[in-house]
Amino acid sequence: MIKKCLFPAAGYGTRFLPATKAIPKEMLPIVNKPLIQYGVEEAIEAGIDTMAIITGRGKRAIEDHFDISYELEHQIKGTSKEYLLEEIRSLINSCTFTYTRQKEMKGLGHAVLTGEVLIGNEPFAVILADDLCEGENEGVLKQMIELYKKYRCSIVAVMEVEKEHIHKYGVVETKNLEDDVYIVSNMIEKPKSEEAPSNLAVIGRYILTPDIFEILKETKPGAGGEIQLTDALKTQAQNSMVLAYKFKGKRFDCGSVEGFVEATNYFYNKFLGNN
């Protein structure tokens, strides 16, 4: 089944400067955990055992986070604080982390293509750690993998978005297939609100079949002059089939300050046991 999850994590995080000057934006914490750890936990819950992370310059803190810190282990062993390391220890032991660097920032499509060397010729998941998701009964990726088992094609997670925000997303045009599942007939990256084909926006969870790599190699730069995953998925939708899945759960846009604060409040309440 799907065993690998790609995490594009090479971006500069300019919206969070100066916080992201020396630390990767994926390492910004929501309460006591870095954003990317929430993504890794969601992938593990979905049965994934290999985390393929696309990094770049200045991102070494991510590799250190998912590794043992012998000095810390030594300091904390046998003290009353040892339990604070238990969660991350067991996470590190339950999967493998692989890394490659994206040398130039040429867009999400380019980041995914950079990951080909880590993924090979098999279907895989993609998590954009900025989009922090909490599934209703099970994680969003787990829901999508269930759907993949049935249809065996690429799947994008979508949600309804207000017209005034639609220009920030990839937007799908669809035909209904079953409850909350749609066949994609067209996709547009960051359309003007009057050109958006629907109010269904793609959020940062994907299941991709490996033919996407060949398509990405042929995909010309699109919106913002970048190689867009959305454009490659549009080609895939026309060549074969791509589904859009309206997931059950919440999503926080932690790439924006408002979304980040909203997620912090939500997870802080959870942390206190109020949710």
Task: Convert residues 232-271 into a mask of x (bound to ligand G1P by CB under 6 A) and - (unbound).
Answer: -----------------------x----------------
Taking CB under 6 A as the rule, does residue 13 contact ligand G1P?
no
Of 7, 169, 245, 252, the one binding ligand G1P (CB under 6 A) is: 169
Query: Least separation, in Å, of the C-beta of 257 and ligand G1P?
Result: 14
Give the type of residue at 169. Answer: Y
Which residues touch 179 (CB under 8 Å, ≥6 apart)? none
Taking CB under 6 A as the rule, does residue 206 contact ligand G1P?
no
Q: Is the Cβ of residue 88 or residue 154 nearer to ligand G1P in the bound state?
A: 154
Taking CB under 6 A as the rule, does residue 201 contact ligand G1P?
yes
For the chain, report the end-to-end CA distance as a whole number of angstroms: 33
Give the integer Cα–Cα distance in Å for 97 and 133.
21
Contacts of ligand G1P in 207-236 (CB under 6 A)? 228-230
Write phi, then psi, for 206 (nearest 5 degrees).
Answer: -140, 150
Query: Least separation, in Å, of the C-beta of 224 and ligand G1P?
Result: 8
Task: Convert residues 27-46 into a mask of x (bound to ligand G1P by CB under 6 A) and - (unbound).
Answer: --------------------
Of 34, 115, 170, 222, the one binding ligand G1P (CB under 6 A) is: 170
Residue pair 144/247 in contact (Cβ under 8 Å)? The answer is yes
Q: Taking contact as CB under 6 A, which single stretch among the options 22-30, 94-102, 135-143, 197-205 is the one that binds ligand G1P?
A: 197-205
Contacts of ligand G1P in 126-155 (CB under 6 A)? 128, 131
Please tell me the count of residues contacting ligand G1P according to CB under 6 A.
Answer: 14
Taking CB under 6 A as the rule, does residue 56 contact ligand G1P?
no
Q: Is the Cβ of residue 88 or residue 222 nearer to ligand G1P in the bound state?
A: 222
Q: How crowded is the C-beta side of 275, counted as CA atoms within 13 Å?
A: 13
Q: Which residues make up the interface to ligand G1P (CB under 6 A)? A: 108, 128, 131, 169-170, 189, 201-204, 228-230, 255
